[in-house]
Amino acid sequence: MKTILVTGGMGYIGSHTVVELINKNYDVIIVDNLYNSNKIVLKRINIITGVTPKFYEVDCCDYNNFEKIFKENKIDAVIHFAGLKAVGESVNLPLKYYQNNLISTLNLIDLMNKYNVKNLVFSSSATVYGAPKSVPIDETFDLHVTNPYGRTKLMIEDMLRDYCFVNKDFNCALLRYFNPIGAHKSGLIGENPNGIPNNLMPYITQVAIGKREFLGIFGNDYNTVDGTGVRDYIHVCDLALGHVLTLDKLFTNSGLVTYNLGTGKGTSVLELHDAFEKACGFKIPYKIMPRRAGDIDSCYANCDKAYKEIGFKAQYNIDDMCKDSWNWQKNNPDGYTE
Ligand code: NAD
Ligand code: UFG
């Protein structure tokens, strides 16, 4: 049984990946400082899988406490989700983002080196493609970023590319996620943002439960099918499975690999809104608002490389994603509570 250390494993994508790893018989250790998550997630993981993973409440920026995890456990691979991810906040508090995202990763690479752990999956983002020259986007596209959050992702990718260049026995996957939504079928784990949601799906679900009055749609004059922004929404359980497939690849001594994880299909804001109405069975009021600074027309992935090299293909469609997001929100109107 291989042991996987999951940083940020109590968070949205991390918790779904932990479930998938346990289902595939991995031994899982979670490290999370609970900055953007809740301890109840552990109980929920246990209800779903029958297993409670070992959990360390530790900040990955705290080298000494982080090191204890490597001292106490024999780790085969790390999946590194821990990080701050709010684009808008990163513009206002850039140092917070550089400090948290870069230091935690530097500590991690240093400790992996020290304790001879040779396999790493890193959560990168489609944000590294900036405003792409065309869609769909493949992994060879130019990289350029437009905000401090994105810059941390690109800097970490660069660090890892440099590290892999001289450490040929180090296996590392840079996974560029498109837009994860949805939740585990059980409705026990899901996305649980603090405060006003920045992202589209959690905003819609909060309108649906009556926490917000209406959805603001940021612009309807984009060069897209109906004028609203187009994105590549991927079910978080498909994304979770992508990590398990990626681990299999790393264990073949892959060296450095980079994959887009999306569905390859673009969906507009209005299309997602309509699909959600279908899923919940009632109207979601919306208003057209001005464009949001920094948004682009269209962003969706070409996922051929992930399919060819690791057999990754998203199974769930937009209707499934809406149904599962709604199921999670409806069962947990106030997020994680006992
Ligand atoms: P999340 O906030 O739900 O999960 C991140 C987890 O990391 C949280 O539980 C948080 O408490 C923890 N964490 C943060 N800093 C830490 C630190 N220094 N030490 C220990 N734990 C720490 O976010 P998510 O949506 O699950 O995203 C996971 C990763 O995927 C992030 O790196 C994010 O940037 C990346 N990503 C997310 C999206 C998305 O839309 N959700 C898209 C692309 C990439
Ligand atoms: N949108 C609205 N109203 C809202 C929220 C969003 O109309 O209340 C629109 C946006 O304008 C955009 C689309 O919905 O057209 C999706 O917006 P999100 O904020 O949900 O997602 P983004 O594509 O802007 O960004 C997200 C993450 C980034 C990540 C990127 C790619 O926030 O960190 O996906 O993975 F880089």
Ligand 2: lining residues by beta carbon, under 6 Å: 85, 87, 125-127, 177-179, 198-200, 203, 216-218, 229, 231, 269, 292, 295
Distance 258 CA to ligand 2 centre (A): 22
Is residue 136 a part of any domain in this protein? yes
pLDDT tens for 45-66 read: 999 999 999 999 999 999 999 9
State residue 77's pLDDT score: 99
Q: Does 338 have pLDDT greater than 90?
A: no
Mean pLDDT of the chain: 98
Q: What's the total number of domains in the chain?
A: 1
Please indicate, yes or no, if residue 50 is contained in any of the structural domains: yes
Give the model's pLDDT for residue 257.
98
How far, in Å, is the centroid of ligand 1 from the Cα of 112? Answer: 20
Residues 277-308: tens digit of each pLDDT: 999 999 999 999 999 999 999 999 999 999 99
Domain assignment present for residue 160? The answer is: yes
Name every residue whose Cβ is closer than 8 Å to that of residue 189 and which is 6 or more positions away in sequence: 15, 16, 19, 41, 44, 45, 48, 183, 328
Q: Is the dihedral of CA 316, 318, 322, 328 positive or negative?
A: positive
Q: 271 in a domain, yes or no?
A: no
What average pLDDT does the segment 187-210 reach? 96
**CATH at residue 138:** 3.40.50.720
Report the run of H or E that residue 172 belongs to, with start and end: strand 171-177
Q: Give the closest residue (by CA) to ligand 2 atom 34.
A: 179
For 226, the token pair is: 């109906």
Percent with pLDDT over 90 in the chain: 99
Instruction: Burial-class residue 63 by CB neighbours within 10 Å (0-12, 13-18, 19+).
Output: middle
In a domain, 331, yes or no: no
% of the chain at pLDDT higher than 70: 100
Closest ligand to Cα 150 = 2
Whether the predicted model's global pTM rises above the 0.85 cut: yes
Contact 111, 67 (CB under 8 A): yes
| Ligand 1 and 10: CB distance under 6 A | yes
| CA of 105, nearest ligand number | 1
Question: Does residue 112 form part of some domain?
Answer: yes
The answer to whether position 47 is within a domain reads yes
- Domain residues for the domain of 247 are 3-184+233-262
In a domain? residue 250: yes
